[in-house]
Structures are given as C-alpha cells and as structure tokens.
Amino acid sequence: SQQGEEDPQALSIQEGENATMNCSYKTSINNLQWYRQNSGRGLVHLILIRSNEREKHSGRLRVTLDTSKKSSSLLITASRAADTASYFCATDEAAAGNKLTFGGGTRVLVKP
Amino acid sequence: EAEVAQSPRYKITEKSQAVAFWCDPISGHATLYWYRQILGQGPELLVQFQDESVVDDSQLPKDRFSAERLKGVDSTLKIQPAELGDSAMYLCASSPGQFGSYTFGSGTRLTVV
C-alpha cells in the first residue's frame, strides 16, 4: 500500500519557471524524503526532512513539512530541462521500522 | 561514489519460467531492500533484510517469490514461475541504518511474455 499521495500527478512547465509538487501522508513519521527518477532508471535521493523540521533547502530545492496537516511540498526553482523526471515522496513511518513507503509520484516535464 | 549494483539490467522471460535478479549493496550497509515498481506507479516494498535476516516480507508473494541474502552481503530475488503480471522494474536499495536515506541501484526491467 502507498502512504504518500503526490499532487499533481503530472506537471508541465517552461525552463526557468518554478515547479511545486505536494505530498500528503496518513500516519506519524520519523522523516520524509524526496527522490527523483529519470525514465527507466533507479531513484536518486534528493533531500530528507525530519519530523521536527519545517523547512530544508538544497541548492535549487526547497522542502517544507507540516506534520499537523501531514503534508510536504517540494519546490524546484529556476527549472532546467534536465529536471525533467518523476519525483516521489517517501515516508519513514514511526511504527514501520526503517521502511520507506513511496507515493505514486509527480511526472515533471520542463520544456526548453 | 559508492553504488548499488544490480544485474541484469533487462530481462525478458516467458511466463512459467524462472528468473533471478542479483543485487550488491554498498559495502557496510546493513539494510537491503527489494522494491517492485509497475510502470507509472511508485515503488512498493517486497522484502527488507537486516544483515542476513528478513525483517519484512509481508508484501512478497511467497508462493512464487523468494529472496535471500546469504552472509549479509549481496542478495538474490527469484520468481518461479513468472506470470505476465510480474512485468515491472525491480529495484534494490541499501541503507546504513535507521532513519537515513536509501541508495538505489539502476534496477532490472523484467518483461514477461
């Protein structure tokens, strides 16, 4: 079963624009992670935010976490064609024992 | 940079045949995971190992799937017999311990015909 649900399912933007995607989850978590997957490849870890953190930055990425609403967002600023990929949120559930549960992903297309 | 190795990269097999996938995690990573990803969906956990022991295999279809991690290092996932619905990407990942990020391999794309 999938804990996280990403929104939107797909996103198409022009190069230079910002891309925002959201993730909602259902149970208490230790941390929430975002991964990127290029077509036909494995997943690459982008950023991890712990349950006691509210915001985290890494380069052009900004992640927020609202544990009261059980939601997170990933913002990619000044997008590039190379950012075209699927983005997945994954939750490390407090009761699940170091096991990541992934959402269905947001497919992002950045047009040059 | 250390990587998780998986082989083969692609596999085409006929239904009812046996198929096996191999994974070599990052050296020193105690925890190893096998995920299955159907096209257009997120990965779903099949089995989790801590060293050589299975921690969670609740989503593993045990009538046809088996997984082992002898000596707590590399791991093999087997399907016998393969069914058409098994067509998917099989991803292996490892992590050093609790509450950290995973490192994924490039996956094995299985097509059952």
Count of CB atoms within 10 A of residue A63's CB?
23
> What's the rounded mean pLDDT across residues A35-53?
94
pLDDT tens-digit map of B53-98: 999 999 999 999 999 998 889 999 999 999 999 999 999 999 987 7
CA atoms of B20 and A13, how far apart (whole Å)? 40
**What 3-state DSSP class applies to B44?**
strand
Percent share of chain A, pLDDT over 90? 82
| A10 — pLDDT class (breaks 50, 70, 90) | very high
pLDDT at A81: 96
What's phi and psi for A54, nearest 5 deg? -115, -25
A42 to chain B, any CB pair closer than 8 A? The answer is yes
Interface residue of A24, A41, A43, A91 to substitute, partner B, most B CBs within 10 Å: A43
Count of CB atoms within 10 A of residue A3's CB?
23
- Tell me how close the Cα of A64 comes to any Cα of chain B, in angstroms: 17
pLDDT at B76: 98
For residue A99, the chain B residue with the least C-alpha distance is: B48
CA atoms of B88 and B103, how far apart (whole Å)? 19
Inter-chain contact B101–A104, Cβ cutoff 8 Å?
Answer: no
Look-up: residue for tokens 């079963």? A1
| A1 — pLDDT class (breaks 50, 70, 90) | very low
| A3 — pLDDT class (breaks 50, 70, 90) | low
Helix (H) or strand (E) holding A35: strand A29-37
- Tell me how close the Cα of B14 comes to any Cα of chain A, in angstroms: 21
A93 to chain B, any CB pair closer than 8 A? The answer is no
For residue B40, the chain A residue with the least C-alpha distance is: A104
